Structure 1
Amino acid sequence: MPISSEDAAKVAKLARLRLDDDKLERFAGQMDGILAYMETLGSVDTAGVEPLYSPVTHETPMRADVAAKACSRDQILANAPATDGQFFIVPKIV
């Protein structure tokens, strides 16, 4: 079933896209091509194929979970626009 300009306009509105009529026609054609390709993929027999999560086998390197102090309070507060020496000063929000 081909995608109509009205369907493309609905999708564009949901995606918050502003498209003129010329681009809507092009968008509808592109969506139609994508859906046709998905139908082609859906017709492929994958009964004996194992799922592939990554084309390469790799392991996630593990590191020791050790708490460490990376920066001092003075180093962190030096980046703040306003402090009282110990804490950030931020605008009051009510």
Structure 2
Amino acid sequence: MENPIIITDRAREEIISTLADNKIPDIYGLRVGLKGGACSGTFILGFDTLTDSDNTYIIDGIKVYIDRKHLMYVLGVSVDYEEGSNGSGYTVSAIEIKN
């Protein structure tokens, strides 16, 4: 399978920096998933360890864990990092598919 999600260059830099600055052990990866129902759910993003129900992907050098139950809901999402007047942080957004 191709990479199920997209990590922007800016997000990649911040993820690598966060892992290094906080001395987060190599057993941790970036968890991408969904909390709540498929229609009313919100994306989750954080550093976590592998579980038995996860698929593991290496995306642009970043270890990504996605629970198999969440995979169909996160396919094609984009992880970005934005800095603005209200602060900075990661964003997760679905990408529109145009026919």
Bin of the TM-score, shorter chain as denominator length: under 0.3
Structure with the larger strand share: 2
User: TM-score w.r.t. structure 1 length?
Assistant: 0.23
Q: Which has the higher contact order (CA 8 A, sep 6+)?
A: 2
| Structure with the greater alpha carbon radius of gyration | 1
User: TM-score w.r.t. structure 2 length?
Assistant: 0.22
Structure with the larger helix share: 1
